[in-house]
Amino acid sequence: MMLIPTYHFRDIERKPEYLQPEKCIPPPYPGPVGTMWFIRDGCGIACAIVTWFLVLYAEFVVLFVMLIPSRDYVYSIINGTMFNLLAFLALASHCRAMLTDPGAVPKGNATKEFIESLQLKPGQVVYKCPKCCSIKPDRAHHCSVCKRCIRKMDHHCPWVNNCVGENNQKYFVLFTMYIALISLHALIMVGFHFLHCFEEDWTKCSSFSPPTTVILLILLCFEGLLFLIFTSVMFGTQVHSICTDETTAGDHAGRECRMPAASNLHWPLLPLLAREAR
């Protein structure tokens, strides 16, 4: 994950000599409403695929190694329903975090005509990003991967192949929460399954051979422990950022918890049904 410099570029003022319109290409015609946002970054795409693979691997081990072979049908139905629901919510949140515009500032709008339309007061300074040639709102930062300035940018996360910003932070928080929950749930089930297999014959507690069962469970245990720690820390960091109105990119504007920002998470609604933040 990458931190973005916190300083602002102040190379545009209302004075004509600072406008430099010849260096800015007018912004392209905006696409249709609802156009999908997707970052074409090889590393990010690979990390997103790995994320889905790890969740599906956990699904495979939980269902085909632990729950389906179990003779306790009530235990299997309850835990299978809970785990699959959390896994679905995690992947749905991941998709929304990855495919939602994080709050990109229109590219190439730092033109003389646009600046004059702002009706600035004499001596008033506006901020320009020289990389994407856009007027930067307050608390916006440029991402070198997305190649755009992002409003309230927290950081660029390769696991969701996107920046975490104003419009998709709620989905990223939900994603980290659901991953932490399914990791904890998987670890608990692995512990109970090991105890069950030690008490009974290993050949009867799984449809796989004992060595294969042990290897699959150990890998799932390692994966669950690793991502439980990682996503719990990320979840706590994000909630703290929301409550203090700060961002990892270096913005330290607020010190008190602001309920409108926190309410954008839409707890505990499904990410697919969450309303867009106003």
Helical (H) or strand (E) element with 125: strand 125-126
Residues 86, 271: Cα–Cα separation, whole Å: 12
Annotated catalytic residue: which of 133, 157, 197, 205?
Answer: 157
Cα–Cα distance, 83 to 157 (Å, whole number): 25
Residue 169 identity: Q
Q: In Å, what is the CA distance from 213 to each residue of 146, 162, 178?
A: 42, 36, 26
DSSP, collapsed to helix, strand or coil, labels residue 151 as strand
47 among known catalytic residues: no
State the Cα–Cα distance between residues 216 and 211, nearest whole angstrom: 9
Q: What one-character DSSP code corresponds to residue 39?
A: -
Q: What angle do CA 232, 139, 31 make, to 5 degrees?
A: 95
Q: How far is CA 244 from CA 10, 72, 173, 239, 278, in A?
A: 27, 47, 15, 9, 19
Query: Does the bond joining 102 to the residue before it have cis omega, within 30 degrees of 0?
Result: no
Contacts of 168 by beta carbon, 8 Å cutoff, 6+ apart: 96, 97, 100, 101, 102, 103, 162
Catalytic residues: 157
